[in-house]
């Protein structure tokens, strides 16, 4: 009974595929793509309404995986892939905004310009930024990888428990218990980064 560890959620197979990809195995790369492209595409589509950009980011993600599989340090493959995809999406959006700013003609005085300024980041984007960078990102890096992935799926992507379970390949009960543990670990990590001034002073 104690043997059900990483093999249950397919991470053992993913790790083997990534080792093969790191050695230049194109068939392993195709198998990894088949296993993960569908959910990556769905997740990217939740964040970006431009299907062409989503396709471009997905392709760029797997090109990056092909080039950097040797750098995979054994963390859960789905989380590693999503980190790459999310960063590629941020990069692609920034590049798109730069092109629009450079290409946009200045509007005539007193007329509404055809090109609107880039929209302020949404609340969801701010949450993602907080989880990737800053103190929350630092704290998040200090919690267990499997707990981190549950937080990303349920908080950043707004997935339901059922959707997160399907995405991560774990039972719904495990999602719930990991989410509770993740929040507790995250609070502890943040407390270590910023001890409360009320804590040790009389």
Model pLDDT for residues 116-138, shown as the tens digit of each residue: 444 444 444 444 445 554 556 66
| pLDDT of 172 higher than 50 | yes
User: Is residue 4 helix, strand or coil?
Assistant: coil
Q: Which two tokens stand for residue 85?
A: 């995809």
123 vs 119: CA distance, rounded Å: 12
Residues 143/182, Cβ–Cβ less than 8 Å:
yes
DSSP E strands, 26-82? none
Q: Note the pLDDT of residue 175.
A: 92
- Whole-number pLDDT of residue 113: 44
- pLDDT confidence of residue 15: 87
For 177, the token pair is: 């218990």
pLDDT for 106? 52
Q: What are phi and psi of 122, to 5 degrees?
A: -70, 170
> Rg (Cα) of the chain, in Å, rounded?
20
> Is pLDDT at 29 greater than 90 in this prediction?
yes
Which residue, among 189, 80, 90, has the nearest Cα to 135 in the 3D structure? 189
Span 55-94, pLDDT tens digits: 999 999 999 999 999 888 776 788 788 888 888 888 888 8
Per-residue pLDDT tens digits for 162-171:
877 877 778 9
Percent of the chain surpassing pLDDT 70: 67
Mean pLDDT of the chain: 75
pLDDT of residue 158: 67
Specify burial of residue 41 (Cβ count, 10 A radius: 0-12, 13-18, 19+): middle
């Amino acid at each position: 009974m104690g043997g059900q560890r990483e093999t249950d959620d397919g991470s053992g197979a993913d790790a083997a595929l990534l080792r093969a990809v790191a050695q230049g195995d194109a068939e392993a790369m195709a198998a990894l793509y088949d296993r993960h492209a569908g959910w990556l595409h769905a997740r990217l589509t939740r964040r970006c309404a431009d299907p062409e950009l989503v396709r471009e980011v997905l392709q760029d993600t797997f090109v990056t995986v092909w080039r950097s599989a040797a750098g995979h340090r054994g963390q859960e493959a789905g989380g590693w892939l999503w980190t790459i995809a999310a960063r590629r999406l941020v990069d692609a959006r920034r590049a798109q905004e730069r092109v629009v700013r450079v290409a946009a003609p200045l509007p005539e005085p007193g007329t509404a310009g055809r090109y609107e300024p880039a929209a302020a980041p949404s609340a969801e984007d701010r949450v993602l930024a907080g989880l990737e960078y800053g103190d929350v990102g630092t704290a998040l890096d200090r919690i267990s990888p499997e707990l981190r992935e549950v937080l990303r799926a349920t908080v950043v992507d707004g997935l339901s428990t059922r959707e997160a379970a399907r995405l991560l390949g774990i039972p719904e009960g495990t999602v719930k218990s990991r989410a509770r543990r993740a929040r507790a670990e995250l609070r502890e990590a943040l407390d270590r980064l910023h001890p409360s001034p009320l804590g040790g002073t009389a």
